[in-house]
Every structure is written in C-alpha cells, then in structure tokens.
C-alpha cells in the first residue's frame, strides 16, 4: 500500500459525486462531481464550450425517487482535454443554494439513504488533489481561490483576540492590583461653636453657606442686665453732653458780654477824657477871668466880692477837673485788671467766666467718663459675640434670634476654607489592602477631574463606635464601617479645580496583600520610593470653640 501526501484542499465547499444531471443546450449530461460553487463534466457530448462562456443550464437532483429541478446560470472556468470542463454557478438563488447545502450536509453526515451509487460514493475522497504544485497556477486561479478572505478572517481574529486579551488583562490588573471605591466624599475640617454660658441670642449676622473670615462676628448674644446698663450709660452720656453744651453756650455768652462791657468801658474812658478836656478849658477861662478881675480891682473898677466869686469859680472848676482825671485813671486801672474775665460796672466787679469755665471743664470730664463706661460695656457685649474660628464657610446655624441657650448649646458649625480631605468608606476586607502613605487617584465626577492623594489615616473601627454605650460593636464584613482619609498631594491644584466639601468622589487604591505569594507577584509592578516618617494616624481638627 502506497501512502500519498496530499496538500490540504483550499475549496470553500464540499465537492461530492452524488448524481446530478445538467441540461445544456437540450442535452442532459451527468456531472462527475459538484458542489455549491459549481460542477465538472468529464464526458461531454457535443462541442466543448470555451473558457469564460456563459451557460444556461437546468439542473436535476435525484432524491430518494424524486427529481428536484432548478435553473441556474453557469460560466466555464476550466477545460480538461477535449471532453471535460468545469463550470461555476452564477446567480444561484437562495432557495436552490439552501436546498443543495442541506443535501450535501445530510449526505456527508450519512443521514440520508439515497440511491445505490450515491451510498457507494460517500466514502470516496471529495476531490482528488494533484501533487503537482503547478496544477493551479496563480494566473489561472480564480479570485475566490485566493487567500484574501482567509487573510481578512485571520486579521479579524487577531484583532478580536488582541482586544479580548487586552480586556482580560485590564480586568485582571484592575481586580488584582487596583481597588476602586466609589463610597467616598470630599470633606474639610469642621468646628462646632458652643455657648460658654446661659443667655439669649440677640442677632444672627450670617446664614448657612455664607463665607466668613477668621474672627468675624456671626451672631450677637443678648444679656438683659448688660443691655439695661448700656442703655443707662447712653442716657448718662447724652445728659452729660447736654450739660456740657449748656455750660459751653453760657461761657460763650459771658465772653461776648465781657467783650461788650469792655467796649462800654472804653467808651466811658473816652467820655471822661472828653469831660476832662472841657473842664481844662473851663479852668483856663476861670483863671483868665480871675486875673482880669484882679487887675480891675487894683484899678478900682470892680469890687472885692467879684474877685472872690471869680476865685471860687476857678477853684470849683479845678476840683471838678481833678476829680474827672482821677476817675479816668481809675477806669483805666480797673479795665486793665479785668484780664478779659470780669468787668467793673462802676460800683463793683462783675463776670461769670471763671465759674462757667470751671463748670464746663467738669462737664467735659463727666462726658469723657460716661463715654468710657459706655465703650467698656459695648466691648463687653462684643466679647459675648460668637466669632468665626477660622476662614471658611458656615455649614449650619443651629439657633435663631431670640433663642434661649445654656452652657454647651451648639450655636453654629464652620468648615475650614483649606485642608480638603477625602473620606473613603471601605469594607473590612477592603481596608486590609490599604496602608498608610499609599498613593491613590481621586476622581471627582462632578468636576470630571482626577487628582493624586496620599493615605493619611486608616481607621478600621470607625463604624464600630457605639456612642450610646461608649463601646465598640462589631459590624458585618460587607458593611462599609472602615474609614480611610486621604490628603491631596497638590492642594493648590485641588483648589484651582474647584474641589469643595460635599462632592462625591471615587478613589482608586493600589492593593496590598498579606499573602507572600501575591506580594511577590505584585512587587515587580510597584514603584520603589524612599521611606517617609509619618504618624500612624492623621487627626482631623474636630474641636469645640472655647470663645474669647
């Protein structure tokens, strides 16, 4: 027995030798073999058609005593000698193709019982393949015989395989080396301000969500006794100011009156001077008359009593002149002694400037003392005001105007403007794979932003605290009772991106493992970084305001 190594068939369809009759030009010919692609006739009766000629043929397929006929167009593609040629079906209908395909498949599987000759050919090789490599030269091979379709399918399979392998690798990397937690939120340090004593809220100066600066008053506390004292102090200040204003007006009027009296005194001095001038003229006249009378008496023209009358008149006018001179000197002296504070009215000194000025000074001092007392009371009330502990935002205002409060009552809650952190809530299994100082990627969906962060706190028992009984209570493993806090490595970039507290976030961690084998497998993919000294936990500044 001789073994022949045959090349694999490159045909697209099974080629069988079951009976098939083809009617060409009115002559029925039995084909040597056929497939869905075409047929071959070895002993053709008549003139052999040339290659490329179109044939109109009617095909008849014997099937268990029945003859199934259909028409089809064919084209001669090869010739073998003078009596054999091969033809290819053209425009084969779907119904005919389905019928022939079903017949071939059932025949190959052996599920049909056709005629005797058909059964005998089931085990016959489909198509004998020649070992001559040039039996099908490239220039004579039809397009469908060329490996274009195989190349396309191979390329498609390679691409799809690459995608599948890549997707599988991505899933493996994501689930084996990384862990994504979507239960995270952006938060910031908050501070709750509580009342330091009993009292009542007088006025609320801010609302929820308002930005505040450090030390800014946010609400005023009312104290009835203090408010009454402040009101009495304001009344006292108004009273002292009124007294001061009255005394000041009186002093101004007194000074004006003193100036008026000074003008009157100057006028009196001037008038006395005019009188002295008149009296001096009278003295001169009286002295001339006396001398004239003395001459006439010596001549005997006048009597002695006339001389005596002239001397008496001269003495009277001289005494009046001396009296007015003394009066003028007295007025000038007293006018100089007044010093602008008092005046002489001719009989006594008058003037209230000194007294009024002294009383005004006392009133001015009283106003200053009353204002200082009022300012001290107002400063005391301002010290009772609730102030923002830092620059940030008001998260909540727990009281309103007029609300009563006791020591320890929560008044307001503030959020720090900076120091944004990410709080991620993990299960007990997930927190086991996270460590301090691990880097992670934080994705903020609301901003479509990814930022790098560092783990600064791992608290596995965060959700176990029973505040009512002040003890720890275990939770189910799938409960997200563990807290992991992360700090942005670049806070400036987070602030520039608009990251604010309350935004949801998704955190992608790098998995850790206590399994030595898994750790060895993951070690080649880890970056080596210098060790950093850090605390085991990062305490967030939650505290109560102590007030000032």
Query: Mind listing the pLDDT tens digit for each residue in 112-168?
Result: 544 444 444 434 444 554 545 555 555 554 555 557 788 888 899 999 999 999 888
Closest CA to 25 of 55, 52, 48: 55
Q: Domain 195-220+385-405 is of which CATH architecture?
A: Beta Barrel (2.40)
> Quick one: pLDDT band at residue 329, thresholds 50, 70, 90?
confident
Structure confidence at residue 488 (pLDDT): 92
Out of 1.10.10, 1.10.287, 1.10.150, 3.30.70, the CATH code matching 226-367 is 1.10.287
* pTM confidence score: 0.39
Domain with CATH 1.10.287 in the chain: 226-367
Q: 120: which 2 tokens?
A: 């005998």
DSSP annotation of 461: T
Residue 397 contacts residue 386 (beta carbons within 8 Å): no
Find the radius of gyration of the CA atoms of the chain.
65
The more confidently predicted of residues 135 and 40 is 40
Q: In the beta sheet, which residues pair with residue 194?
A: 410
Homologous superfamily of domain range 21-125: predicted glycosyltransferase like domains (2.40.10.220)
Residue 394 contacts residue 209 (beta carbons within 8 Å): yes
Strongest mean pLDDT among 178-192, 211-225, 439-453, 511-525: 439-453
Q: At residue 448, does pLDDT exceed 50?
A: yes
Give the other-Cβ count within 10 Å of 469's Cβ. 8
CATH number 1.10.1200.10 given to 178-189+419-525: no
| b/e per residue 238-250 (b: at least 16 CB within 10 A) | eebbebbeebbeb
Number of H helices, E strands in the chain: 9, 25
Query: Mind listing the pLDDT tens digit for each residue in 288-306?
Result: 888 888 888 888 888 888 8
Q: What does the pLDDT average to over 219-235?
A: 83
Structure confidence at residue 452 (pLDDT): 93
Q: In the beta sheet, which residues pair with residue 449?
A: 444
What SS3 string covers 215-230? CCEEEEEECHHHHHHH
Look over the chain and give the mean of its residue pLDDT values, rounded to a whole number.
77
**Quick one: what percent of the chain has pLDDT higher than 70?**
76
Q: 93: which 2 tokens?
A: 């209908």
Q: What does the pLDDT average to over 82-110?
A: 82
CA distance 513 to 527: 16
Residue given tokens 């504070």 in the structure block: 341
Domain with CATH 2.40.10.220 in the chain: 21-125
Q: At residue 390, does pLDDT exceed 80?
A: yes
Structure confidence at residue 146 (pLDDT): 52
DSSP annotation of 544: B
> Quick one: pLDDT band at residue 449, thresholds 50, 70, 90?
very high
CA distance 368 to 164: 90
Query: Cα 219 to the chain's mean position, in Å?
Result: 26
Residue 25 contacts residue 46 (beta carbons within 8 Å): yes
Residue 522 contacts residue 177 (beta carbons within 8 Å): yes
CA distance 243 to 356: 12
Domain with CATH 2.40.30.170 in the chain: 178-189+419-525
Closest CA to 35 of 21, 20, 15: 15
Residue given tokens 């022949």 in the structure block: 4
Give the other-Cβ count within 10 Å of 219's Cβ. 22
> Quick one: pLDDT band at residue 66, thresholds 50, 70, 90?
confident
Residue given tokens 């460590």 in the structure block: 435
Structure confidence at residue 296 (pLDDT): 83
CA distance 362 to 243: 10
Domain with CATH 2.40.50.100 in the chain: 195-220+385-405
Q: What does the pLDDT average to over 206-223?
A: 85
Structure confidence at residue 443 (pLDDT): 94
């Amino acid at each position: 027995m001789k073994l022949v190594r045959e090349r694999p068939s490159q045909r697209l369809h099974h080629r069988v030798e079951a009976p098939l009759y083809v009617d060409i030009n009115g002559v029925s010919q039995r084909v040597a073999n056929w497939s869905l692609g075409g047929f071959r006739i070895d002993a053709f009766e008549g003139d052999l058609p040339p290659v490329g000629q179109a044939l109109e043929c009617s095909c008849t397929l014997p099937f268990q005593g029945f003859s199934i006929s259909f028409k089809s167009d064919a084209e001669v593609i090869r010739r073998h000698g003078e009596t054999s040629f091969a033809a290819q079906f053209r425009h084969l209908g779907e119904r005919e193709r389905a019928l022939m395909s079903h017949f071939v498949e059932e025949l190959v599987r052996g599920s049909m019982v056709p005629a005797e000759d058909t059964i005998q050919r089931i085990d016959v090789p489909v198509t004998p393949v020649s070992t001559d490599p040039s039996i099908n030269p490239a220039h004579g091979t039809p397009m469908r015989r060329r490996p274009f379709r195989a190349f396309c399918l191979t390329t498609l399979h390679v691409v799809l395989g690459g995608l599948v392998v890549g997707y599988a690798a991505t899933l493996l990397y994501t689930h084996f080396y990384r862990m994504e937690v979507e239960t995270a939120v952006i938060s910031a340090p908050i501070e709750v301000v509580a009342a330091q004593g009993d009292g009542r809220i007088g006025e609320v100066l801010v609302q929820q969500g308002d930005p505040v600066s450090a030390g800014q008053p946010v609400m005023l506390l009312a104290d009835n006794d203090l408010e009454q004292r402040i009101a009495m102090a304001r009344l006292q200040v108004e009273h002292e100011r009124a007294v001061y204003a009255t005394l000041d007006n009186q002093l101004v009027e007194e000074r004006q009156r003193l100036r008026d009296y000074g003008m009157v005194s100057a006028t009196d001095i001037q008038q006395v001077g005019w009188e002295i001038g008149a009296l001096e003229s009278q003295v001169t006249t009286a002295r001339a008359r006396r001398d004239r009378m003395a001459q006439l008496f010596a001549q005997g023209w006048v009597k002695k009593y006339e001389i005596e009358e002239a001397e008496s008149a001269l003495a009277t006018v001289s005494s009046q002149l001396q009296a007015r001179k003394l009066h003028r000197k007295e007025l000038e002296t007293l006018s100089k002694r007044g010093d602008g504070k008092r005046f002489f009215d001719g009989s006594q000194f008058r003037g209230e400037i000194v007294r009024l000025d002294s009383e005004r000074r006392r009133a001015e001092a009283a106003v200053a003392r009353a204002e200082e007392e009022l300012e001290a009371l107002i400063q005391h009330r301002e010290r009772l005001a609730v102030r923002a502990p830092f620059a940030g935002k008001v998260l909540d205002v727990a009281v309103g105007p007029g609300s009563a409060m006791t020591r320890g009552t929560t008044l307001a809650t503030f959020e720090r403007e900076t120091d944004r952190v990410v709080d991620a809530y993990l299960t007990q299994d997930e927190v086991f794979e996270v460590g301090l100082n691990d880097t992670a990627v934080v994705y903020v969906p609301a901003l479509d932003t990814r930022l790098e962060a560092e783990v600064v706190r791992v608290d596995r028992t965060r959700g176990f605290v029973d505040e009512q009984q002040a003890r720890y209570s275990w939770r189910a493993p799938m409960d997200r009772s563990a807290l992991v806090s992360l700090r942005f490595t670049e806070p400036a970039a987070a602030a520039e991106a608009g990251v604010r507290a309350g935004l949801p976030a998704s955190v992608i961690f790098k998995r850790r493992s206590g399994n030595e084998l898994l750790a060895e497998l993951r070690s080649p993919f880890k970056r080596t970084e210098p060790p950093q000294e850090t605390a085991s936990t990062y305490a967030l500044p939650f505290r109560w305001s102590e007030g000032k």
